[in-house]
Structure 1
Amino acid sequence: MPTPPVLLSASDGVVSWHATRAELDRDLFAKLQRSKGARKTVTLRRVSNLVSAIPTAAIIR
């Protein structure tokens, strides 16, 4: 079974972006890295065009 790519990670309060703005413009889900399967996941539904909604300065690469 394929594994979805990690687009964003956080550890000890430090957030690391591994995706472009366009890659974030879709339905997403969040989960703990050590968790298996769908346990303790959060679903984030796309409701508008993210690429135009977030200023460039808000995306830290």
Structure 2
Amino acid sequence: MKNKILILACVAVFAFFLGGAFLVYSSYIKTQELQAKVKLEQEKTKQEMIKSQNEQQQMA
């Protein structure tokens, strides 16, 4: 009986840490996705600024 309780406790602790690891990994993936989106937006903004500067130079 004590053996069963010990095994159940170990399984519960293992499941708890496995769940925590999954949440950390999921959060990491979301962070990576957000960083990629930010980089894309920065690149778009950079391209728009260059385009705007070129148009201003052509008008002058």
TM-score under structure 1 length normalisation: 0.14
Is the strand fraction higher in 1 or 2?
1
Higher-Rg structure is 2
Determine which structure has greater relative contact order: mean sequence separation of CA pairs < 8 Å that are 6+ residues apart, divided by chain length.
1
Taking structure 2 as the reference length, the TM-score comes to 0.14
